[in-house]
Amino acid sequence: VGKLRSYLSNIIDSMPSIIIGVNIEGTVTQWNNGAEQAMGLTTPEAVGHPLKEVFPRLAAEMPKVKEAINSRQQQSDKKRSYFNNGVQIYEDVVIYPLITNGVEGAVLRVDDVTEQVRLEEMMIQSEKMLSVGGLAAGMAHEINNPLAGMMQTTHVMINRLTNKKVEANNTAAESAGISMEAIYDFMEQRGIIRMLNALNDSGERVAGIVDNMLSFSRKSDDTFSTHDIHDLIDKSIELSSTDYDLKKQYDFKSIVISKYYEDDVPLIACDGGKIQQVLLNLLRNGAQAMQEAGVEQPEFGLHTYYDAEQDKVCIKIKDNGPGMNEETCKRIFEPFFTTKPVGVGTGLGLSVSYFIITENHGGEMTVESELGVGTTFMISLPMSVVSQ
């Protein structure tokens, strides 16, 4: 009997779950290694004491313990959360009724499901982002149709009002009792030609933004193609410059962009859309940080170069924002870690960016920061497709 009891005790201790036995009064009768590690109390120190004293956060489960014993049915409390050193932890609590030799009690099993919950939330967020991407693509197509009509009409207006070589223009002007020269002079003096050209230029700019949106939101099949990293950075800056967040009141256009592009940076095989996603996220985060810190002259420094020794294309994105402390830098790429207020950020942006660079492209992504000075994100992408 003694050997069997020791064997069963070893089985319980070897389980990764926290296993605690209690009687109907809530006094601890069993305490495994998982419980010891969680609370720092040995079995002799815990057994015989009330559950609420040795494991305070489970005190709220006592009504369910009594319900499990009285109904002789399993009770559970899924995804209950608590904070440990400022980090939110999720756990499942399952309560099993235990009645032996007329003695009533229960066994509580506690499992950490934090990673599972975070993965579920990440999947939900990914679905949301896919929906948003689809919506953006749909909106871009809807904008393109009337925009094409507006731009075509503007071209026709400029041609009919200024082109003296078109016979139909001269005939229509003569029938109205005026010459094309007079029409042109009037329009020139009133600035109408300049306005029409400005309207056409604005249309082309909108068309470029829409095309960029379509390229960015288009579903990627992880196909790599050759890209100029400078072109990807410039397109990301252009997209960022159209991002005016009324809620946060930050305007990307007010930020000085200093580019330091090395001439010998070769073309690189990568997923252009995903690299743009990373760059956009870094630029947007930096802009928000500088705005919130009240930086008078916000500035980004973008530096690219080719590391011939390691055969890598490198990008540095530096801002003159508030910077981060060492603890924040260590956790900045963790999923769901955010320094923003509740409801403002998901804490997924940088973790997804890190995944894109390290897992999808076989590269590296690091950060250096100093409080009151600024932050620099460094990205290196291997030239070798094999390593990617």
- pLDDT of 99 reads 77
* Domain around 350: 221-387
Residue 225 is part of a domain; what is its CATH number?
3.30.565.10
Helix (H, G, I), strand (E, B) or coil at 152: helix
Lowest average pLDDT, out of 135-144, 155-164, 243-252, 256-265, goes to 243-252
Residue 250 shares a structural domain with residue 374: yes
Residue 48 is part of a domain; what is its CATH number?
3.30.450.20
Domain presence at residue 90: yes
Specify the higher pLDDT residue, 303 or 355.
303
Domain presence at residue 183: no
Distant-in-sequence, close-in-space partners of 285: CB < 8 Å, separation ≥ 6: 349, 350
Helix (H, G, I), strand (E, B) or coil at 90: strand
Rounded to a whole number, what is the distance in angstroms from the first to the last CA of the chain?
A: 59
Helix (H, G, I), strand (E, B) or coil at 369: strand
Domain presence at residue 149: no
Domain presence at residue 188: no
- Domain stops at, among 112, 144, 178: 112
Q: 276-310, pLDDT tens digit by residue?
A: 889 988 998 888 888 888 888 999 999 999 999 99
- Domain stops at, among 96, 112, 128: 112
**Phi then psi dihedrals of residue 246, to 5 deg:** -65, -30
Residue 231 shares a structural domain with residue 361: yes
386 has pLDDT over 60: no
Domain presence at residue 248: yes
- pLDDT of 97 reads 92
Domain presence at residue 27: yes
Residue 379 shares a structural domain with residue 251: yes
215 has pLDDT over 90: no
Alpha carbon separation from 287 to 28, 230, 315, 334, 375 (Å, rounded):
54, 20, 18, 21, 12
Tell me how many domains the chain contains.
Answer: 2
Residue 231 shares a structural domain with residue 103: no
| Partner residues linked to 252 by β-bridges | none
Distant-in-sequence, close-in-space partners of 4: CB < 8 Å, separation ≥ 6: none
Domain presence at residue 37: yes
Express as a percent the part of the chain with pLDDT over 70: 84
Residue 333 and residue 185: Cα distance in Å, rounded? Answer: 62
Which string of DSSP letters, residue by residue, matches 123-143? HHHHHHHHHHHHHHHHHHHHH
Domain presence at residue 131: no
What size, in residues, is the chain?
388
Q: 100-112, pLDDT tens digit by residue?
A: 777 789 999 999 9
SS3 content of the chain, % helix, strand, coil (to 5): 50, 25, 25
Widest distance between CA atoms in the chain: 119
Residue 231 shares a structural domain with residue 357: yes
Q: Which pairing describes strands 225-227 and 103-112: parallel, antiparallel, or unpaired?
A: unpaired
- Domain stops at, among 112, 140, 161: 112
Lowest average pLDDT, out of 33-37, 285-289, 308-312, 383-387, goes to 383-387
* Residue 173 contacts residue 183 (beta carbons within 8 Å): yes
Question: Which helix (DSSP H) or strand (DSSP E) does residue 240 occupy?
Answer: helix 229-241
State CA 104 to chain mean position distance.
50
Residue 105 shares a structural domain with residue 225: no
Give residue for tokens 């055969």: 311
Query: What is the crossing angle of helices 180-189 and 192-217, to 10°?
Result: 70
Alpha carbon separation from 266 to 166, 274, 317, 366, 382 (Å, rounded):
48, 19, 19, 22, 11
**Which of 324, 336, 227 is CA-nearest to residue 273?**
227
- Residue 314: count of CB within 10 angstroms of its CB: 19
State CA 176 to chain mean position distance.
62
Alpha carbon separation from 106 to 18, 61, 64 (Å, rounded):
14, 11, 10
Residue 315 and residue 278: Cα distance in Å, rounded? Answer: 12
Q: 317-326, pLDDT tens digit by residue?
A: 999 999 988 8
151 has pLDDT over 70: yes
